[in-house]
Amino acid sequence: MNAIVFDNVSKHYGDVLAVDDLSLAIEPGRTVALLGPNGAGKSTSINLLLGLLAPTQGTISIHGRTPAQAVKDGELGAMLQDGALIPELSVKELVDLVRRLYPNPLELGEILELADLTALAGRRAGKLSGGQAQRVRFALAMAGAPRILLLDEPTAAMDVESRLRFWAGMHDYAAGGRTVLFATHYLEEADEHSDRVIVIARGRVAADGTAAEIKRGVGGQTVRFALGEQPAAGLGTLPGVSAVEVSAGVVTLHTSDTDATVAGLYRGTTLDVRDLHLSGADLEAAFLAITRES
Ligand SMILES: Nc1ncnc2c1ncn2[C@@H]1O[C@H](COP(=O)(O)OP(=O)(O)OP(=O)(O)O)[C@@H](O)[C@H]1O
């Protein structure tokens, strides 16, 4: 059974169509990035999953249950952008208070370790920096050991070091077969920390696949090498190649799949390939192309 299913879901806020007939399914154990520009509908989708908003149309199911039931059963943990913390409590007291609300919570020490809060356990929540408060929100999201973790722009306000530690904690949490869905506009985070990227733009799925597949889908990659005096005939028929340019003995192949083109070059031709350079479209270029198109 899928962990998360959106079935033709739309959400209107008055005249604004924030989510537009969205259908997608996420298998258990996946770490999925919901990537999109400002206003794409990421937070709305997460709030729909949590049952904080009701869809205008369509249905959402979480391990076969309604969002309300899934929340009640402790299936979902969420780290939202502005969750309030109780300022008088220490980090340890706050995390322990929340974990005790659940039937089978994680151990307190494990949560503090995963969220990199062990050294801050005695600090009052009201005295934390923005990035430290984010780590407490992460801890609270994991406290009940939910099978699905939803993270809305989790690294906003974190410095570089905190980000690294945060992602390490997220991967440790996900490693036990748990499902993680995180919203971000940071392309490099989607690229590095998910095994599936769903690009949404204007409330619709604009692309869906691994970061590598999405990059391949927009083309813009090249394979370049020194050809010298050898003939360029036949290079245009190599796998993935859409155009061939030759200039001053250097050939540039424009391709949608550098791996397949290079394999074809070595296996399917007898050319003496020297000074090989590959360049790929990065996720940023792919993202801009996709969100502009849709
Ligand atoms: N409560 C609301 N009332 C009216 N419009 C809203 C409301 N919440 C969101 N919207 C609109 O719905 C659209 C989707 O917003 P949403 O917050 O889901 O996008 P997002 O992808 O999370 O954006 P961001 O990356 O900026 O956080 C936007 O056009 C936004 O202005």
Q: Is 266 in the pocket of ligand 1 (CB under 6 A)?
A: no
153 CA distance to ligand 1 middle (Å): 13
Domain limits, the chain:
4-209, 218-293
Q: What is the value of ipTM here, to two decimals?
A: 0.96
All residues at 6 or more sequence positions from 100 whose CB lies less than 8 Å from its CB, including other chains:
none
Q: Which of the listed CATH numbers 3.30.70, 3.40.50, 1.10.3470, 2.50.20 matches domain 218-293?
A: 3.30.70
Q: Where are the beta strands (DSSP E) in the chain?
A: 4-13, 16-26, 31-35, 57-62, 76-79, 148-152, 179-184, 196-201, 204-209, 221-226, 241-247, 250-255, 274-279
SS3 125: helix
197 CA distance to ligand 1 middle (Å): 20
The pTM score is 0.81
In 3D space, the residue among 125, 123, 91 whose CA is nearest the CA of residue 108 turns out to be 91
All residues at 6 or more sequence positions from 254 whose CB lies less than 8 Å from its CB, including other chains:
219, 220, 221, 222, 241, 242, 243, 244, 245
Which fold, 4-209?
Rossmann fold (3.40.50)
Q: Fold identical between 4-209 and 218-293?
A: no
Alpha carbon distance 100, 112 (integer Å): 15
pLDDT in tens, 22-52: 999 999 999 999 998 888 999 999 999 999 9
Nearest-CA residue for ligand 1 atom 12 is 18
Percent of the chain with pLDDT over 90: 71
Alpha carbon distance 42, 27 (integer Å): 19
Alpha carbon distance 36, 33 (integer Å): 9
Nearest-CA residue for ligand 1 atom 25 is 38
Tell me the mean pLDDT in the region 114-138: 94
SS3 246: strand
Residue 133 in this model has a pLDDT that exceeds 80: yes
